[in-house]
Structure 1
Amino acid sequence: MNQIPDTIDGVEAMLAGENYVVGRALATVTFLALKLGRPLFLEGEAGVGKTELAKALAQGLGRKLIRLQCYEGLDAASAVYEWNFAAQMVAIRTAEVTEGTDRAALTSELFSDDFLIRRPLLDAMSPQDGGAPVLLIDELDRTDEPFEAFLLEALSDFQVTIPELGTVKAPEPPIVILTSNRTREVHDALKRRCLYHWVDYPSFDREMEILQARAPEAAQDLSREIVAFVQRLRTEDLFKKPGVAETIDWAKCLLALDVLTLSPETIADTLGAILKYQDDIQRLAGSEAAKILEESRKALELT
């Protein structure tokens, strides 16, 4: 376990050591979340690095990363715990063929820690080797309001209740990162419990830094072409604009193909790395990709 940095510069350096390039504003709010023990709520388009921040924090601090992937219909039971019914049934049948079984003792044993399956929230509230874990509650906007209300209570006191066992309170509050792609608004009551930051698409220079950190084998000229093209592409009216994750994926695809410079043909062949909807891909087919490439190269000449 590593010490939590005591300065904003320390947070930047720690994240840089994990190949995560962070701007000053995000580094500041991350430092404050760590310093004050407050959950950090990150909103932004998909692929801009919200989830990666939690991973980089866990790696940099030497803490366990516990991830709760949210989805529609997620309820408190699925997020906290469940009982191992198969193992309980085996124990019951074993007791049935054993003489002198104490039913009260059997009941107590069936609802003990031995048969408990810890889901992410309970796991994050439990003691961990190496210190409090990083709890990533990913894509919270996919859940519904009842789960938000439950989460509000759980994050207020950092404890959860198991009816058969009682209340489990975290010996040390976990480092909590919540993310949202803003497919719907998250309730203000939950946001008020957190420090907030909007993670936007990076500038050209910052995206170059990110690409050089994540795909260092890419030549400088090719990296500049890739970033300029993607940045120009984000100005188009697309169903899903490419995030930084797609920029990195595309660069790695082009490297695998031994591409030295972009061409309309290469772009057409690899659009699936940066665009994830057929309508968007069809829109860029043919001369449109060549036009965007030409415009992005002109923009590069002006920088």
Structure 2
Amino acid sequence: MTWMSVPAPEDLAKALDGVGYLADDGLATAAFLSLRMHRPLFCEGEPGTGKTSLATSLAQALGVPLIRLQCHEGIDATQALYDWDFPRQLLHLRALEAASHGELDADAAEQSLYTERFLLARPLLRALREAPCVLLVDEIDRADDEFEAFLLEVLSENAVTLPEIGEVRAEVAPLVILTSNRTREVHDALKRRCLYHWLEHPDLAREVQILKRRLPGISDRLAAQVANAVRRLRAAELLKPPGVAETIDWAEALLALGRTELDAEAAAITLGAVLKYREDADRVRVDLDALLAG
């Protein structure tokens, strides 16, 4: 499937299915509209609901590069857009000085330092240059207001002006996926620029499907047992409820141990695959029968 040959949401869902990502109708439609309307897709949801995996799977399904911008506290335009290779510039300047025998033209030397040769393209600049591609702006809620404003400007124009180089404009708008775990509210101005989709944890049937797709050797019984147990863990008051990735890890751990069912013994020795805080594991171990009931 090529970049613009997706006729309908169900075709995109089928393409995603082909690379191991099971998207429901709502998510497939949102991703399809983002592609067709050239609008970023803003995905919010609890950790582990498949937001980041959506971007990687879209890149695989569409046969285009994935470019990832991981947001963090204090990220700025330089880290996201471009920088200069200062060590190489310094070596170049020294070489010019040596070759000129003390008669270096300062203006010409300065101009030679700020060329493509020494430009370090960061994710946003790469996406504008390499589109068609999928640009994943991961965990935008970790960035600050100033970075949001900068990002909004770039996404609105699909272009940026570098003082030393000039304008860089994408010939084709990249497919932009922004994710947020909602650790803080993202400003309305950025959300208005995007299509929006809230990702829930999959229902029981879909999670069983995911396990069977990702782990072809798993039995129906074990897949159902693991998916049921994870649903109970998500309903408990844990510090970090498990996501789909932990569900897969747990099932894979059981298979690696040669287990064919999830009983209390198997659960006790593999909880580290699904729970990542000691307090959560201790709480669950107190009543494993309740976790495995039904």
Q: TM-score range by the shorter chain?
A: over 0.9
- The reply to whether residue 25 of structure 1 matches residue 26 of structure 2 is yes
- The reply to whether residue 192 of structure 1 matches residue 192 of structure 2 is yes
In structure 1, give the amino acid aligned to 2:172: E
Q: Is the 8 A contact 2:48 2:243 kept in 1?
A: yes
Q: Which residue of 2 aligns with 1:214?
A: 214
Question: How far apart, CA to CA, are the structure 1 residues paired with 2:217 and 2:109?
Answer: 61
CA spacing shift, 1:3–1:165, aligned 2, 3 Å: closer
Aligned identity (percent) is 49
Q: CA deviation at 1:186?
A: 0.7
Cα deviation code 1:168-225 (max 9, x no counterpart): 1112111100000111111111000000000001110111111111111111111110
- In the TM superposition, 1:64-75 aligns within 5 A as 64-75=65-76
Q: CA deviation at 1:107?
A: 1.1
Q: Which residue of 2 aligns with 1:15?
A: 16
Q: How many residues align?
A: 291
User: Which range is displaced more, 269-278 or 220-229?
Assistant: 269-278
Q: Which residue of 1 aligns with 2:88?
A: 87
What TM-score, normalized to structure 1?
0.93
What TM-score, normalized to structure 2?
0.96
- The reply to whether residue 273 of structure 1 matches residue 273 of structure 2 is yes
Q: Is the 8 A contact 2:3 2:64 kept in 1?
A: no
Q: Secondary structure at the match of 1:98?
A: helix
Q: Which residue of 2 aligns with 1:121?
A: 124
- The reply to whether residue 181 of structure 1 matches residue 181 of structure 2 is yes
Question: How far apart, CA to CA, are the structure 2 residues paired with 1:276 and 1:86?
Answer: 41
Q: CA deviation at 1:102?
A: 3.0
Q: CA deviation at 1:104?
A: 2.1
In structure 1, give the amino acid aligned to 2:28: A
- In the TM superposition, 1:280-295 aligns within 5 A as 280-286=280-286, 288-294=287-293
Question: How far apart, CA to CA, are the structure 1 residues paired with 2:141 and 2:3?
Answer: 32
Q: Is the 8 A contact 2:45 2:181 kept in 1?
A: yes
Question: How far apart, CA to CA, are the structure 2 residues paired with 1:253 and 1:210?
Answer: 16
Q: Which residue of 2 aligns with 1:223?
A: 223
Q: Which residue of 2 aligns with 1:76?
A: 77
Q: CA deviation at 1:95?
A: 1.3
Question: How far apart, CA to CA, are the structure 1 residues paired with 2:11 and 2:116?
Answer: 40
Gaps of 5+ in 2: none
Question: How far apart, CA to CA, are the structure 2 residues paired with 1:263 and 1:161?
Answer: 60
Q: CA deviation at 1:290?
A: 2.2
Q: Secondary structure at the match of 1:231?
A: helix
Q: Secondary structure at the match of 2:235?
A: coil
In structure 2, give the amino acid aligned to 1:49: G
In structure 2, give the amino acid aligned to 1:42: C
Q: CA deviation at 1:105?
A: 2.1
Q: Is the 8 A contact 2:3 2:132 kept in 1?
A: no
Question: How far apart, CA to CA, are the structure 2 residues paired with 1:20 and 1:157?
Answer: 31
In structure 2, give the amino acid aligned to 1:104: D
Q: CA deviation at 1:3?
A: 4.0
- The reply to whether residue 110 of structure 1 matches residue 113 of structure 2 is yes
- In the TM superposition, 1:137-176 aligns within 5 A as 137-176=137-176
Q: Secondary structure at the match of 2:135?
A: strand
In structure 1, give the amino acid aligned to 2:13: E
Q: Which residue of 2 aligns with 1:246?
A: 246
Q: Secondary structure at the match of 1:97?
A: helix
In structure 1, give the amino acid aligned to 2:211: L
**Regions of 4+ moved over 6 Å:** none
User: Which range is displaced more, 177-186 or 264-273?
Assistant: 264-273
Q: Secondary structure at the match of 1:177?
A: strand
Q: CA deviation at 1:161?
A: 2.4
Q: Which residue of 1 aligns with 2:259?
A: 259
